[in-house]
């Protein structure tokens, strides 16, 4: 499938929360949608390139730790103690985090980002805290590590929102970091400088933007949180934070502050539409309502939260309040947004004993439709970019589905999205467009070979 034009016609496209037939899509010189005509006539589309399948908008992956792609599948054998949980998984993750060089990070992230493209993501928010040199590459700087991710995004073609992450201490009562966390060490001033350095280094690059992240309340001081978020607000940058992921985190926060994590954040930080709270798995209804009122969004990572035993997010309660949310693939045990939505819905079905739970949380009777619309509406919150579906002014991102695949073949058109989310195995798209640029070949041989060689090095070290 070769595409080289700026006018396209889709026999079927997802526009404004529904399937529409014969949609004309035009891209301007800046890579944004300049015209979207519904029910276009034959005369209107005569010189447009006809796309080979149904068209969905691109989706933002709102939470990624690229280096953790290297351990997907390698932590599924129980701990010797017999008690395997998030904290024991974290020790195994740290072991790999210690040894990754900038060159290795680039190879791993390039493989990951091409996989994310093939999974329908067109922008990834990289929650990045591998700042300092490792023993294998003592000359590496924080800028070197960040630029490795930028190069990976440029090579793959995905958009990147880089989130340099503040990480200062190992827990609420700690004065600093553990020896195995020293790679993550940073200060508010250092993160602000890194953001500015990457902005300067990427000026003129397509689809690269910056935000900031705070690892968690346990990892930063209140003063540092205030300092870094003030910097972010001055530049209108998105702000991301892990919060309320594990019961122990909640208990520790109560013990040291007298409040639950989200409760503390709502009282002490000026939350707004550019804040993104990752996980919030253990949140009360009052806390979730407070997040909604603030305008902030929650980033749900269903496959990682299931893999780590975090728990099940109160999706129905939050959606009933009208809360904004997005998804992320986090540790990358899955790398497709439809798989995240499938597990999100199935988790609700298992805990509530009902079917089509998400069908009750939006304007559509389709669970998949309501969940997809939520993702599109939160795209700008997680990135501070015009990413919100097939709409004039938004970046020209979309995915062309393959209706010849086993998951989608022979289905009526108005059930294609339902099957894309709930029928497996998932099919690879025919093509993905990012800012008007098309990608039709995903995991190239050279990318895969580089990844295999790099992974062998990392695991040996």
pLDDT value, residue 135: 72
Is residue 452 assigned to a domain? Answer: no
Q: Residue 140 and residue 225: Cα distance in Å, rounded?
A: 26
pLDDT value, residue 110: 97
Is residue 453 assigned to a domain? Answer: no
Question: Taking residues 399-418, what's their average pLDDT?
Answer: 95
The answer to whether residues 249 and 296 belong to one domain is: yes
The answer to whether residues 341 and 246 belong to one domain is: yes
Interior angle at CA 460, CA 456 and CA 461, nearest 5:
120
Is residue 274 assigned to a domain? Answer: yes
Digit-coded pLDDT (tens) for 194-228:
999 999 999 999 999 999 999 999 999 999 999 99
Q: Residue 184 and residue 294: Cα distance in Å, rounded?
A: 30
Choose between 332 and 90: higher pLDDT: 332
Is residue 254 assigned to a domain? Answer: yes
Query: What is the percentage of the chain residues whose pLDDT exceeds 70?
Result: 98
Residue 405 has pLDDT above 60, yes or no: yes
Is residue 341 assigned to a domain? Answer: yes
Q: Residue 424 and residue 143: Cα distance in Å, rounded?
A: 40
Q: Is the N-terminal amide bond of 425 cis, ω within 30° of 0?
A: yes
The answer to whether residues 421 and 434 belong to one domain is: yes
The answer to whether residues 133 and 41 belong to one domain is: no
User: Which residues have a catalytic role annotated?
Assistant: 279, 330
The answer to whether residues 261 and 353 belong to one domain is: yes
Domain extent for 210: 59-383
Q: Residue 111 and residue 442: Cα distance in Å, rounded?
A: 9
Residue 192 has pLDDT above 60, yes or no: yes
The answer to whether residues 162 and 198 belong to one domain is: yes
The answer to whether residues 48 and 66 belong to one domain is: no
Q: What is the CA radius of gyration of the chain?
A: 21
The answer to whether residues 32 and 13 belong to one domain is: yes
Residue 59 has pLDDT above 90, yes or no: yes
- The total number of structural domains in the chain stands at 2
H helix runs in 298-336, sequence order? 302-307, 315-320
The answer to whether residues 134 and 272 belong to one domain is: yes
H helix runs in 328-366, sequence order? 337-352
Chain CA centroid to CA 257, Å: 30
Residue 136 has pLDDT above 80, yes or no: no
Is residue 458 assigned to a domain? Answer: no
pLDDT value, residue 2: 56
Digit-coded pLDDT (tens) for 308-361:
999 999 999 999 999 999 999 999 999 999 999 999 999 999 999 999 999 999
The answer to whether residues 364 and 426 belong to one domain is: no
Is residue 111 assigned to a domain? Answer: yes
Is residue 1 assigned to a domain? Answer: no
pLDDT value, residue 24: 97
Residue 15 has pLDDT above 90, yes or no: yes
The answer to whether residues 50 and 78 belong to one domain is: no
CATH assignment at residue 12: 2.30.40.10
CATH assignment at residue 96: 3.20.20.140
Q: Is pTM, for the whole model, over 0.85?
A: yes
The answer to whether residues 180 and 88 belong to one domain is: yes
**pLDDT band with cut points at 50, 70 and 90 for residue 1:** low
């Amino acid at each position: 499938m070769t595409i080289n034009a700026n006018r396209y016609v889709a026999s079927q496209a997802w526009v404004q929360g529904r399937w529409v037939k014969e949609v004309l899509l035009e891209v301007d010189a800046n890579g944004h949608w300049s015209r979207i005509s519904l029910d276009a006539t034959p005369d209107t589309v005569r010189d447009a390139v006809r796309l080979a399948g149904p068209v969905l908008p691109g989706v933002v992956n709102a939470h990624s730790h690229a280096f953790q792609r290297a351990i997907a599948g390698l932590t599924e054998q129980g701990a010797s103690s017999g008690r395997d949980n998030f904290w024991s998984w974290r020790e195994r993750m740290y072991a790999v985090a210690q040894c990754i060089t900038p060159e290795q990070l680039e190879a791993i992230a390039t493989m990951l980002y091409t996989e994310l493209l093939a999974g329908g993501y067109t922008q990834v928010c990289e929650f990045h805290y591998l700042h300092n040199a490792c023993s294998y590459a003592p000359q590496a700087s924080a800028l070197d590590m960040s630029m490795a991710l930028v190069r990976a995004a440029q090579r793959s073609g995905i958009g990147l929102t880089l989130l340099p992450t503040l990480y200062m201490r190992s827990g609420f009562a700690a004065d600093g970091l553990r020896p195995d966390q020293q790679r993550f060490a940073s200060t508010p001033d250092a993160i602000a400088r890194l953001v500015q350095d990457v902005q300067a280094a990427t000026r003129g690059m397509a689809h690269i933007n910056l935000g900031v992240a705070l690892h968690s309340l346990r990892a930063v001081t209140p003063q540092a949180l205030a300092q870094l978020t003030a910097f972010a607000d001055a530049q209108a940058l998105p702000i991301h934070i892990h919060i309320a992921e594990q019961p122990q985190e909640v208990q520790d926060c109560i013990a040291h502050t007298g409040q639950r994590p989200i409760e503390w954040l709502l009282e002490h930080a000026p939350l707004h539409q550019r804040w993104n709270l990752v996980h919030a798995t253990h949140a009360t209804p009052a806390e979730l309502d407070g997040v909604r009122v603030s305008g902030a969004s929650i980033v749900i990572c269903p496959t990682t939260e299931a893999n780590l035993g975090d728990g099940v997010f109160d999706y129905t309660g939050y959606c009933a309040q009208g809360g904004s949310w997005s998804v992320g693939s986090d540790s990358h045990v899955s790398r497709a947004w439809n798989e995240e939505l499938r597990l999100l819905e199935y988790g609700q079905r298992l805990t509530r004993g009902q079917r089509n739970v998400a069908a009750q949380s939006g304007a559509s009777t389709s669970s998949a439709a309501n969940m997809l619309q939520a993702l599109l509406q939160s795209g700008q919150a997680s990135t501070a970019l015009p990413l919100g579906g097939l709409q004039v002014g938004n970046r020209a991102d979309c995915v062309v589905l393959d209706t010849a695949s086993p998951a989608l073949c022979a289905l009526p058109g108005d059930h294609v999205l339902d099957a894309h989310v709930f029928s497996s195995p998932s099919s690879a798209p025919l093509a993905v467009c990012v800012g008007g640029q098309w990608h039709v070949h995903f995991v190239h041989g050279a990318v895969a070979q580089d990844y295999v060689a790099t992974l062998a090095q990392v695991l040996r070290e």
